[in-house]
Structure 1
Amino acid sequence: MRQLRQMLRLAGSGTSSREIAVVLGIARSTVQDNLQRAAAVGLSWPLPGELTDDALANKLFTRNGVKQGTRRRVEPNWADLAVELKKPGVTLLILWEEYRGSHPEGYGYSRFCELFRGFEQRLSPTMRQEHAAGDKVFVDYSGKKIPIVDRKTGEIREAEIFVAVLGASSFTYAEATWTQTLPDWIGSHVRMFRFFAGVPRLIVPDNLKSGVSRASFYDPEINRSYGMMASHYGVGVLPARPKRPRDKSKVENGVRFAQSAILGRLRNQTFFSLAEANAAISQALDRINDHVMRRLGVSRRQLFESIERTALASLPVEDYEFAEWRLVRVSTDYHVEFKSFFYSVPHSLIRQQVDLRATARTIEIFHRGKRVAVHQRRYGGPRHGTDPDHMPSSHRRYAEWTPDRFRRWGASIGPQTEGLVIAILASRPHPEQGFRTCLGVLRLFRDIERNRAEAVSARAVEIGGLNCKSIASLLANHKAARHSTEPTAVVDHANLRGPDYFH
């Protein structure tokens, strides 16, 4: 109306239609049409002071009291067009051509687009966004949590609510998890894809640390484990820009709707396990997805089945198995550490950086993309898991030492020597500390007769000489005694008091 008043003012001052069109930046034919309308109802500049914009519009654009424009010609069903526009490759131009094919006297393209945009403005923000079918899924956690009661202790623990919304159909998935940590975050995605029975082109997460290691407006850094999950499903990850809520308004609205439809309806129920809570959430999801949207006249599930299911990519044969990736450095003992346990790699990689992949069952180590080691994951027992093939040859020999092996060696000589080995190992705080002593005894007994070794072993145990020095001394004394011509014992002598002396 402000432009119309300007048009009438310029015309009243004698400016031509061509010049008015140049000044106002509109078509000359538009200027002429509006001036003719004004002349037909007897309006000229200056306009009456009490003439409002609404009154001016009624005078110029109504015929017999009926407003001209939106109802003069046959209109399409705008809700159906909004649904059609979500299908891949469909544009407003295509829809307008189909409309004019059915109604040759219908609106021109510009008016058609204007009316459609007006219809869009009346939709909720969730519906108003333009998302192609199968293009994006928006994921986030609800700010609200669901309480779960321990049946035995009565302790209340709050669970997170994961929400995912497909862009085109607004088909919604939600579930409860204990945390927002990486295993729960990725596990929720795996179950989400299974629920959708397909994979969209992109995931749009918020900048949660489990998904995005470093938030950036231009170059966000995706968490390695999250990226591997995305690679397994062949889906891209496009994080919402920091401080740009419009990037994820789809899921924001979905979260608000889920909070009212899920938490609002379940607020009076008590749950004693995560499984119970998720069973109730599943029922609430059915209500959400089967609810008929007022403006479009269809439900989220109907939209999903009609336009989005076929646009999703197929699921891989197997679900993704959660794996945590870490960049680690090989220590000087050719082991890498994960969760306080140590796993060996080939000794040639000492001080090299390697990639560690940890699943619930296995630990895999990669160097330059090649797997160099695999171990069963440890949760208890010995802290070191060592593959003998990873050791240098000098270490490999020592790694084969065990208490049972030394006992078997002692038993192969005789029971006294086996007893000596057992005594040596038992005398140390850790049996491994006696391995070198046992090796020294083995070297001392290598070239002597079995009977002599047994005698020395028995004497060593008797006097507590449980080291190599004592056993070597006993061997030397035993040898000297064997070669001596003197009696080995004196039975009667004047200097000996005898047993009677003590009675």
Structure 2
Amino acid sequence: MANKLDPMDLKQILTLHLEGYSNRKIGSVLGISRNTVNTYMQLFAGSDYSCQELLGLDTPALSELFSSHTTLDPVRHNELMLYFEGVNKARNHPGFTFLYHYQQYVELAAEPYSYTQFLEHFRRKYPKEKGSMKLQHVAGEEMFIDFAGKKLQIIDKQTGEIAPVEVFVAILPCSQYTYVQACMSQKREDMLSCCANALRFYSGSPKAIVSDNLKSAVNRSSKYEADVNRSFKDFARHYNCVINPTRSYSPQDKALVENAVHLVYQRIYYPLREMTFFSLEDLNREIALLLERYNNLLFKRKESSRIELFQSIERQYLKELPRDSYEMKDYKRAKVQKMGYAYFSPDKCYYSVPYRYIGKETMIHYTRSRVEIFYNHERIALHQRNLNKGSYITNTDHLSSTHKFYSEWSPEFFRKKASPHGEYVLACIEKVLASQDYPEISYKRSLGIIQLNRSYGSERLNNACKRALATDSCSYLRIKNILKNNMDRLPLFDDQVEPIKPHIPLHSNIRGASAYE
């Protein structure tokens, strides 16, 4: 009993005692210590009045009768209060526990209080102003995530420079199964990578991920409807869950992960305090070993460990993970140019889109390996990402018929086009293709020659090409003039014109040239 009771409380004790209540039951009903009830019952028994007589006394008389009594030792109590000042200052230090400071207090104090009284006096001196609510957590419902306030560090082997690293903590609140990973920053890439690793660690995804109002997670915080950034929303969609940010300045919304961070300080930070690490991989390897021990520790009241609770209760309620791991996406706006390409500024490249979207404003979603182009939330193009600056990445299906025809130009293309019109047309096209060092010129001439069949037909074009080959003048204008002037209908001199016959008939009396030798 630290202080004397109010006289009205003394009358309540007397009333309950006379009604047959035990000292323990009286303490429970009145909300006071059983030892305090025992002490007062001894005082009542040692007084000159019976319990009925004490109950009949008025309040001032009862107060005067028991005014001088207190079990509080002022010297002992003041010693404890002075010690609490140092304890209160150390409360925010990583790894703080009351048990550690109580053990120090026992060594220093001549007559120490018990551990329960130590805690009771501390809570009286530094009471919590706000109440809190005990939340019931459903298995597989949520995963809480947070970054620890204190950082670990790695050392660069070459320069000796010390680099601070962040520590990511995730917890499933029903089983309190915990995941811990060190990463270089709290940026979006690292945060999403840690979340993906946590889901793989749990071998499933919950219905919701509860995050703090990190810049990498939330564009604009709100008490009622936070603005989650696009990448985090896409991450949640990939893993078939939702994002539920906590209220601003309300750590009680995710008290379990806050508590998990403090336990991480004790179970992981403290054992690592004298170790030196030269890479993030080495640090995470050691964290994984300590984390396994931590998850295997038995709860005092539940008589089971975190991993046992996870395996027996929570794992079956998690959703199955998708086959493909998540690739973080970024976003850029781009207008489709007249050529039918969207300019992708991060790589300074051009990606084709269907020609009907020329002039439209699009949104480019890109990862490390691919580029997706969307118009009005509908994907209109998908390309493998090309890191060569200035490249034009084309899908021929995106081109208009005219552009597609032009893009297919090649020597083999024109040979196939010429072959159905006859062997001389093909031979003529071969000659045209071989005559120019710059292919575009020969392509246009070949196209002109082949398209003459539209006006004159394949047979006449083949004959015209035969005449052009005979005179070694395989040009578009020459063949066009042959057809225009109907020269393709005239016979060639070398094989179709009959030989000239002499007007003098052969006779034995006529001497030939040999007679004059």
Same fold, judged at TM 0.5 (above): yes
SS at match of 1:336: strand
Who is 1:321 aligned against?
326
> Does the aligned pair in 1 maintain the 2:337–2:359 contact within 8 Å?
yes
Deviates more, 1:197-206 or 1:327-336: 327-336
Give the Cα separation in 1 of the matches to 2:362 and 2:52.
Answer: 81
2:438 pairs with 1:421:
yes
- How far the C-alpha of 1:173 sits from its partner, in A, is 0.2
Q: Could you tell me which of 360, 365, 368 is aligned with 1:360?
A: 368
The residue type equivalent to 1:209 in the other structure is: K
Q: Could you tell me which of 44, 47, 68 is aligned with 2:58?
A: 44
Give the Cα separation in 2 of the matches to 1:389 and 1:302.
Answer: 55
SS at match of 1:147: strand
2:239 pairs with 1:233:
yes
> Does the aligned pair in 2 maintain the 1:126–1:249 contact within 8 Å?
no
- How far the C-alpha of 1:253 sits from its partner, in A, is 2.2
2:189 pairs with 1:183:
yes
2:372 pairs with 1:346:
no
The residue type equivalent to 2:387 in the other structure is: Y
- How far the C-alpha of 1:281 sits from its partner, in A, is 1.0
Who is 1:117 aligned against?
none
Give the Cα separation in 2 of the matches to 1:205 and 1:53.
Answer: 56
> Does the aligned pair in 1 maintain the 2:432–2:446 contact within 8 Å?
no
Change (3 A) 1:368 1:267: same
Give the Cα separation in 1 of the matches to 2:133 and 2:267.
Answer: 17
Q: Deviations over 1:151-193 (max 9, x none)?
A: 5565554433211022233221011223333333222222212
The residue type equivalent to 1:178 in the other structure is: M
Q: TM-score, normalised by structure 2?
A: 0.55
- How far the C-alpha of 1:323 sits from its partner, in A, is 4.0
The residue type equivalent to 2:380 in the other structure is: V
Identity of aligned residues (%): 31
Give the Cα separation in 2 of the matches to 1:187 and 1:325.
Answer: 14
Q: Deviations over 1:367-402 (max 9, x none)?
A: 445432211112236532122222334433444468
Give the Cα separation in 2 of the matches to 1:396 and 1:54.
Answer: 104
Report which structure shows greater RCO (CA 8 Å, sep ≥6). Answer: 1
2:295 pairs with 1:277:
no
> Does the aligned pair in 2 maintain the 1:136–1:202 contact within 8 Å?
yes
- How far the C-alpha of 1:270 sits from its partner, in A, is 3.0
> Does the aligned pair in 2 maintain the 1:362–1:374 contact within 8 Å?
yes
Give the Cα separation in 1 of the matches to 2:331 and 2:233.
Answer: 13
- How far the C-alpha of 1:355 sits from its partner, in A, is 4.5
Who is 2:138 aligned against?
132
Give the Cα separation in 2 of the matches to 1:265 and 1:127.
Answer: 33
Give the Cα separation in 1 of the matches to 2:288 and 2:63.
Answer: 64
Give the Cα separation in 1 of the matches to 2:247 and 2:240.
Answer: 22
Give the Cα separation in 1 of the matches to 2:449 and 2:214.
Answer: 67
Matches within 5 A, 1:330-479: 330-333=335-338, 334-338=340-344, 339-340=346-347, 341-380=349-388, 382-400=390-408, 412-413=430-431, 417-418=435-436, 420-421=437-438
Give the Cα separation in 2 of the matches to 1:454 and 1:277.
Answer: 79
> Does the aligned pair in 2 maintain the 1:329–1:351 contact within 8 Å?
no
Number of corresponding residues: 349
SS at match of 2:63: coil
Q: Could you tell me which of 176, 197, 200 is aligned with 2:203?
A: 197
Give the Cα separation in 2 of the matches to 1:179 and 1:397.
Answer: 51
> Does the aligned pair in 2 maintain the 1:336–1:342 contact within 8 Å?
yes
SS at match of 2:246: coil
Give the Cα separation in 1 of the matches to 2:352 and 2:7.
Answer: 80
- How far the C-alpha of 1:264 sits from its partner, in A, is 2.6
Q: Deviations over 1:396-444 (max 9, x none)?
A: 34444689999xx9994379834x438xxxxxxxxxxxx5x67677799
Q: Deviations over 1:442-483 (max 9, x none)?
A: 799999967998999xxxxxxxxxxxxxxxxxxxxxxxxxxx
Who is 2:165 aligned against?
159
- How far the C-alpha of 1:224 sits from its partner, in A, is 2.4
The residue type equivalent to 2:431 in the other structure is: I
Q: TM-score, normalised by structure 1?
A: 0.56
Give the Cα separation in 1 of the matches to 2:435 and 2:57.
Answer: 127
- How far the C-alpha of 1:138 sits from its partner, in A, is 1.2
Deviates more, 1:169-178 or 1:379-388: 379-388
Change (3 A) 1:54 1:141: farther
Give the Cα separation in 1 of the matches to 2:433 and 2:400.
Answer: 35
The residue type equivalent to 1:48 in the other structure is: S
Change (3 A) 1:394 1:175: same
Q: Deviations over 1:322-345 (max 9, x none)?
A: 241536343224333443233221
Give the Cα separation in 1 of the matches to 2:242 and 2:68.
Answer: 51
Q: Deviations over 1:191-219 (max 9, x none)?
A: 21222233333211011233223222211
Give the Cα separation in 2 of the matches to 1:167 and 1:3.
Answer: 47
RMSD (Å), alpha carbons: 4.6
The residue type equivalent to 1:349 in the other structure is: Y
Give the Cα separation in 2 of the matches to 1:126 and 1:451.
Answer: 103
The residue type equivalent to 2:326 in the other structure is: E
2:227 pairs with 1:213:
no
Q: Deviations over 1:226-266 (max 9, x none)?
A: 22322333322210111222222322222232234223322
Change (3 A) 1:44 1:342: farther
> Does the aligned pair in 2 maintain the 1:358–1:364 contact within 8 Å?
yes
- How far the C-alpha of 1:129 sits from its partner, in A, is 5.2
SS at match of 2:373: strand
Q: Which runs of 5+ in 1 are unaligned?
A: 9-36, 57-120, 423-434, 457-503
Change (3 A) 1:444 1:401: closer
Matches within 5 A, 1:20-35: none
